[in-house]
Amino acid sequence: LMKRLVKSLPLAFDNEMYYSRADKLKQQLAEKQGEILQAISSQAQANNISVTVTAQGEYQMVAMNGEQPHTEESFQALSEQEQNHFEQVINALEAELRGMIRQFTEFEEAFSDKLQKLDEEVAQEVVSHVLKPLKIQYGKISEAKHYLTALQKDILENLDIFLEDNEEQLALAYASLDKKMPRRYQINVLVAQDEHAFPIVVEESPTYHNLFGYIENATFKGTVFTDYSLIRPGSLHRANGGVLLMDAVKVLERPYVWDGLKRALRARELNLNSLEREVTLSGVVSLEPEAIPLDVKIILFGDYQTYQLLQHYDPEFGELFRVTADFEDDMPRTEQSEEQYAKFIASIIQDNNMLHCDRKAIAR
């Protein structure tokens, strides 16, 4: 979709029909400005005053002595009445000229609005044509229909991304692995799972970022920026809808992880906030992604002492972690237990497609 728009939109603005309509608007602007300027020029000429434009684009009025401008000597040679007349006329014309310049500004603003409307009409035709099959295909899905409508509106509001002439701005807009697609319209898939899959995730290093995700920053020619394509998922995202297993001691050792985990379980939603903002170490403005509904089972494994400490010192622990599975540290060695242990080893080997052990290995 975006690759088609990247090609189609510039072509829609690079043809004779568009140039003709744009030139017509420019001609209308020039005619309006010319009419006003001609009126002032005629009035100045009737009073023997010349209106010229300087190299800086400013208007300048000069008293004329026939076909030539008055020099300082010739102007001083005039009577006081003639000098005053020239000064009064020039002052009046300059005041009128200032009003004319304000009118020019209004005309130019109106021209810009009309040109922008023309651009939107041209782009609307292209975008509507490209999106029409998708709207028909996904018309019964309200979320998809709403997204396509919002996408169309956003493209029309950000046409400069597709028509950008400035090389640096264009490079920034397309600064991504896929150079043919603007960053603004890339899709950032955080987690991809099969519809019927039940995710089971083991987090060996439950740091704040590894667990809750984070937002990266990118640098382009000295400019630091971020956007939604730099959002990175955490273990809770990958385990959402399934089970997440972690070592309780490691969770407690990592700063801010335990409080963040309890907050997510209580709210049953996953907020992706930077750790720097959590500890107020940075005042940098960043993204605030929408909270994600959280449906995950957390399994913490650890020793009995850790369990007792949490049970005793954290009143929320028993409320959030209600099921306890206590395993013995040792078991009686009988023929039955040895057989079960051997079967357990065999099941691990089979599940992981490993080579089976011989009798001596099991006996040891």
Q: What is the CATH number of the domain that holds 268?
A: 3.40.50.300
What's the confidence (pLDDT) of residue 279? 65
In a domain, 182, yes or no: no
Q: Nearest Cα to 188, choosing from 216, 219, 157?
A: 216
- Over residues 69-93, mean pLDDT: 80
- Over residues 306-314, mean pLDDT: 92
Residues 280 and 355 in one domain: no
Per-residue model confidence as pLDDT tens digits over 105-114: 888 888 888 8
What's the confidence (pLDDT) of residue 104? 79
- Over residues 84-100, mean pLDDT: 80
Number of domains comprising the chain: 3
- Over residues 126-131, mean pLDDT: 88
Q: How far apart are CA 230 and CA 216, in angstroms?
A: 5
What's the confidence (pLDDT) of residue 165? 56
**How would residue 169 be classed by pLDDT, with cut points 50, 70 and 90?**
very low
Name which of 53-57, 146-150, 267-271 the model is least confident about: 53-57
Residues forming beta bridges with residue 151, ordered by sequence position: none
Phi-psi region of 314 (alpha: psi -120 to 50; beta: other; left: phi over 0): beta
Residues 137 and 60 in one domain: yes
Residues 89 and 207 in one domain: no
- Over residues 334-339, mean pLDDT: 86
Residues 28 and 159 in one domain: yes
Place of tokens 């950032």: 188
- Over residues 234-248, mean pLDDT: 94
In a domain, 97, yes or no: yes
What's the confidence (pLDDT) of residue 257? 93
Q: How far apart are CA 189 and CA 185, in angstroms?
A: 13
In a domain, 176, yes or no: no
Residues 107 and 221 in one domain: no
In a domain, 259, yes or no: yes
Indicate if the pLDDT at residue 49 is higher than 60.
yes
Residues 312 and 200 in one domain: yes
Residues 248 and 294 in one domain: yes
In a domain, 106, yes or no: yes
Residues 8 and 148 in one domain: yes
Residues 254 and 231 in one domain: yes
Name which of 53-57, 85-89, 241-245 the model is least confident about: 53-57
In a domain, 274, yes or no: yes
- Over residues 21-25, mean pLDDT: 87
If you average pLDDT over every residue of the chain, what do you get?
Answer: 82
In a domain, 171, yes or no: no
Q: pTM of this prediction? A: 0.61
What's the confidence (pLDDT) of residue 173? 46
What's the confidence (pLDDT) of residue 57? 65
- Over residues 39-48, mean pLDDT: 78
Residue 215 vs residues 100, 229, 238: alpha-carbon distances, Å: 52, 9, 16
Residues 221 and 311 in one domain: yes
Higher-pLDDT residue of 239 and 22 is 239
Per-residue model confidence as pLDDT tens digits over 295-306: 999 999 998 899
Indicate if the pLDDT at residue 290 is higher than 60.
yes
What's the confidence (pLDDT) of residue 252? 94
Give the rounded percent of residues in the chain with a pLDDT score beyond 90.
21
In a domain, 310, yes or no: yes
Residues 37 and 156 in one domain: yes
Residues 152 and 22 in one domain: yes
Per the structure, the complete domain to which residue 1 belongs is given by 1-163
Residue that finishes a domain, picked among 117, 148, 163? 163
